[in-house]
Structure 1
Amino acid sequence: MVSFKLLILCAIIGVALSVPQGSNRKNQSKENARRKASQPSQIVEDSDEELTDQCPEPNGYFADAEQCDKYYDCRDGVITEKLCPDGMVFNDFSSEYEKCDLPFNIDCSTRPKLQKPDPSLHCRRKNGYFSHEEPNVCDKFYYCVDGKFNMITCPDGLVYNENAGICSWPDEAKRKGCSSGDVFQFQCPKVNETFGLTHPRYADPEDCQFFYVCINGDTPRRNGCKLGQVFDERQSRCEWARKVPECADWYKGQLTDEELDRLENPPTTARPSGNAPSRRKKPHRPSQRHAEEEA
């Protein structure tokens, strides 16, 4: 009887002792799971911090992700931050080359930030092409190098294109105040395209040498005839001035009749006939004896 009671008492004590141990394991498991859950975010943060200070490749030149004129020079894994000259942007066509270029040649839409400008007279930045300060001066612009400007005038009929950095037709440049109507003061007459020309031509009412081509019948572009010629509206082409009665005297005071005649009938240069003796000297060939002596 005593033995049976002793067995029951031992069982009760064993159960009592096993409960705290199971509870501790459960609490320990929860703590381990909490710690593991916190580790991945810490690893990501550390990885991001390392990426900003590391080169994508051990050697090369790499564009900044946000600023178009900033780039990085990597040498043996050591990164150096650099800036292009003010007004230029980094050309990332190849990581092998360190090249700063004009903004017109590079797409900066995904990294639009730029360094603070350093302007000077006529130059909004130290380097680049810039339109004239007066919005109605469409055919003049400035080319700036290291803060020093040079003014350039577009050919007649063209305006400065701010998006391309070149001279363009007004309808291509699309500048406010520099449209075809603003520049030329000419409106294309309405035409019936069913019976008319797609790009009809019209004489410039102020200048016999020039005419307008109306693209698709409504957008004027100014063109000119070569020196000595005028636009013949009847034939819709350039013709020698003397053949167009209303413009026959257009070049009077500018060119003499003799000069106009030479332009219309340029002198021809006579070519030597096939039987004419050649003036080229025959090459001198050394005699065999002379060749042996030299040898």
Structure 2
Amino acid sequence: MTLGRSWSYTIALLASVAVVSCAQVDDPCKIKSRVVADDKYCDKYWECENGQAVQYDCPNGLVFAGKHRGVTEGCDYPWRSNYCEYPKVQINPPIGAEHCDWLYGIFGHETSCTRYWTCWNGTATEQLCIGGLLYNENAHSCDWPENVDGCQKHPLCNEDPNGNVPLGKSCNRYWQCQGGYPRLQRCPAMLVFDRRSLRCVVPPTDECEIITTTSPPQEEEENLKPGQHKRPTTEYPNGQPGSQRIRN
């Protein structure tokens, strides 16, 4: 008899908790945006439709960021702006694809420290860090080599960790390795980089008979700052970003 009363009390308590939890979610039909975050799960949200609150899931790997925010459907990568902090969690399990831990996200390369993958609806696009940077999995972006665990030495500096390396066909720019880390450098005015002596000299050289006055190609000129990475133009397959929303 006592066990029966205890069991009934437990059921009543759980029901009460469920009601309180539901009550914590603002009614999206009573606010201007018509969209609110779920109170427990950061990859779910509620939207007002025909006067009723309807729950939706963010695309796999993304979390709710707010109406008109994020990369698609009001959802964004979990690490941006602390969109998924404790005690909230992602309830939906990852759906893996080739090179992608989730259908949407940015992930490290399996064999290269200078490359990474951007995944959009399970389609992986290979990206390259430039300007002497390496991919930092903790920051989800390209970063200075000394900030990247496990990839301290850059392939450009394999032969000489403190030497100079030519930069493509440029006559006045080159890589300067410092302890295995490359830094983009430019020769002083009126000098050119000599590929044989690996230093700046007075022209002409075998490759540069006159001083270059035109700007080098954009890919040589670009030198990203730490924490930045080039936004891929192919990040969104089939044109504009977007995918069919998942309704619960």
- Specify the TM-score bucket, using the shorter chain as the normaliser: 0.5 to 0.7
Could you tell me how far 1:207 is from its partner in structure 2? 4.8
Query: For residues 17 and 185 of structure 2, what CA distance do their matches in structure 1 show?
Result: 65
Query: For residues 166 and 212 of structure 2, what CA distance do their matches in structure 1 show?
Result: 23
1:167-206 CA-to-partner distances (Å, cap 9, x unmatched) read 111223x33x212578845999xxxxxxxxxxxxxx6255
Note if 1:85 corresponds to 2:59.
Answer: yes
1:256-292 CA-to-partner distances (Å, cap 9, x unmatched) read 41xx33439xxxxxxxxxxxxxxxxxxxxxxxxxxxx
Q: Which amino acid is 2:55 matched to?
A: E
Secondary structure in 2 matching 1:124: coil
2:175 aligned residue: 210
1:159 aligned residue: 134
Could you tell me how far 1:92 is from its partner in structure 2? 4.1
The counterpart of 1:109, out of the listed 75, 81, 85, is 85
Judging changes above 3 Å, is the alpha-carbon distance between structure 1 residues 250 and 145 closer, same or farther for their aligned structure 2 residues?
Answer: farther
1:7 aligned residue: none
1:32-72 CA-to-partner distances (Å, cap 9, x unmatched) read xxxxxxxxx99976653323444423523332344321222
| CA RMSD in angstroms, aligned pairs only | 4.3
Aligned residues: 189
User: Is contact 2:37-2:46 (8 Å) kept?
Assistant: yes
The counterpart of 1:122, out of the listed 87, 91, 99, is 99
Q: Which amino acid is 2:37 matched to?
A: A
Secondary structure in 2 matching 1:160: strand
The counterpart of 1:57, out of the listed 27, 36, 43, is 27
Uncovered stretches (5+) of structure 2, i.e. residues with no partner: 1-9, 168-173, 215-248
Q: TM-score, normalised by structure 2?
A: 0.58
User: Is contact 1:127-1:147 (8 Å) kept?
Assistant: yes
1:99 aligned residue: 74
User: Is contact 1:89-1:106 (8 Å) kept?
Assistant: no
Query: For residues 242 and 56 of structure 1, what CA distance do their matches in structure 2 show?
Result: 64
2:191 aligned residue: 240
Could you tell me how far 1:151 is from its partner in structure 2? 0.7
Query: For residues 171 and 77 of structure 1, what CA distance do their matches in structure 2 show?
Result: 54
The structure with the larger Rg is: 1
Query: For residues 118 and 26 of structure 2, what CA distance do their matches in structure 1 show?
Result: 36
The answer to which of 104-113 and 68-77 deviates more is: 68-77
Q: TM-score, normalised by structure 1?
A: 0.50
1:143 aligned residue: 118
Query: For residues 87 and 124 of structure 1, what CA distance do their matches in structure 2 show?
Result: 8
User: Is contact 2:115-2:134 (8 Å) kept?
Assistant: yes
Larger helix percent: 1
How do 1:282-293 and structure 2 match up within 5 A? Answer: none
Query: For residues 181 and 243 of structure 1, what CA distance do their matches in structure 2 show?
Result: 22
Judging changes above 3 Å, is the alpha-carbon distance between structure 1 residues 42 and 85 closer, same or farther for their aligned structure 2 residues?
Answer: closer
Note if 1:70 corresponds to 2:44.
Answer: yes
User: Is contact 1:53-1:79 (8 Å) kept?
Assistant: no
